[in-house]
Amino acid sequence: MANVLYINSSVRSSGSLSRQLSAEFIAKWQAANPSDTIVERDLAANPVPHLTEQMMGAFFTPAEQRNAEQAFVVKTSDTLVAELQAADVVVIGAPMYNFSVSSGLKAWIDHVARAGVTFKYGENGPVGLLTGKKVIVFTASGGVYSAGPGAAFDHLATYLRAVLGFLGMTDVQFVQAEGVAMGEQAVADTLAKSRSAIDELVAV
């Protein structure tokens, strides 16, 4: 039995391919693994706050030394970290907005990337503490950025792979729906490719 953390970051409640494909994956995963626990966090429906000076101060204050205000402002981050720590599998719906992640997903990352909690600095540099997790990221973009001239503009997959790896999550796979603004045939082709990838991932 596994714990699955399912994160959606598209601001669109309908018409979002990252939502659609990640939801299809979760449905097939549940069918294949009925005893697994699914924890869903929708960063659009329930956005997490962007970092403030007060939050940063609370993060870097030892728990036993925090005042009442600091203890309060760190609660959201503690909850998000606990969800991530408990997860065996992490599924992220991450559409490309202006070549990178949505501001909601960036805010989530800022809350879970905490020195001494999800990573630490050792004698040889930073060490990720969130190891042993499988991560599957569903992206969607109007253009093609996995190869060709657009690859230089891909700050979505490159960023997520870097920051997740920094936290110790190195088993990361991407299912990329690309070219969705390039006509109906392009959408049909990328959906077929993505669904084939979903079937392969669930079958593993």
35 is in an annotated binding site: no
97 is in an annotated binding site: yes
196 is in an annotated binding site: no
96 is in an annotated binding site: yes
| Torsion, CA 8, CA 132, CA 130, CA 50, rounded to 10 | -10
174 is in an annotated binding site: no
Q: Are 75 and 40 in contact (CB under 8 A)?
A: no
17 is in an annotated binding site: yes
Angstrom distance (rounded) from CA 93 to CA 75? 24
Give the residues across from 76 on adjacent strands.
none
- Residues contributing to the annotated binding site: 10, 16-18, 96-99
Point out the annotated binding site for FMN. Answer: 10, 16-18, 96-99
